[in-house]
Amino acid sequence: MIQLNCSCYVRYRYHIMSLEGKTAVVTGFGGGLGSAIAVSLAQAGCAIVGTDISRTETVQANIVKIQEISKHEPLFFECDLMDREAIQQMCQGIQKKIPEGVDILVNNAEKPVDSWDKEIAINLTAPFLMSKCLIPSMKKKGWGRIVNMSSTLGLTVAEKIVGYITTKTGLIGLTRSIALEGGPHGVTCNAICPYVVQTPYIIPFVEDLQKKTGKTKEAILEGIRESYPTKKFTTPNQIGDYVVFLCSPAANNMTGLATPMDGGFTMV
């Protein structure tokens, strides 16, 4: 029987997943998913730059949490991602604070079903503009990682959410285009496609189903969970850890992917 040296394994795992010396920008920093992604990246050694529309109590709590686990002081920028000029100004602010350029961009902010223009602006235009602003320094350094948060609904289809499906499908196309352009310069771009993740974002979705079906929140969530072949929800921490993997040396040659993290939902 092969005997594993645990200390060697830990050092090996740390080496392949370490992001020491890298700086990551995470949009939607105040949300449950953005928080988990930022924490996972900080635990891997990244300096974190968070962005959201305002400095809420949740944002402040996330900053404090990252301060506790990281030797790097997190930065935060308020930005309305529906405003092109505000995005440009924020990118200029990031470049002033980090003149060498950021290494990782996670386009995580998203707009719940509301209006076509707002969904297009936040779910698709903002990731395009953020990538356009930050990718030049990545190319110059010969290393960069962009991760876009899409959805299983970018791979499949459902009724009455045409804007959301359109933007999440478009985001996968954007991911592949950036991957093709960035590949020769050491820049990878991948999309993650979750289904239902239990964060505050799903509350409007569940409430809408409650009105339509008369079922309780618990019954709706249980029905969704049972539709997964694995019978388990994907957690925010699992998504955060997958982001770390996509940014790690182990994923150096992985680009242009749209990975479902949905308990097998899209295959049935």
Catalytic residue among 9, 12, 14, 164: 164
Largest CA distance in the chain: 62
Q: State the pairing for strand pair 258-261/104-107.
A: unpaired
Spatial distance between the Cα atoms of 103 and 246, rounded to a whole number of angstroms: 13
Q: Is 164 a catalytic residue?
A: yes
Q: How far is CA 246 from CA 127, 146, 221, 225, 242, in A?
A: 17, 9, 29, 26, 6
List the catalytic residues. Answer: 164
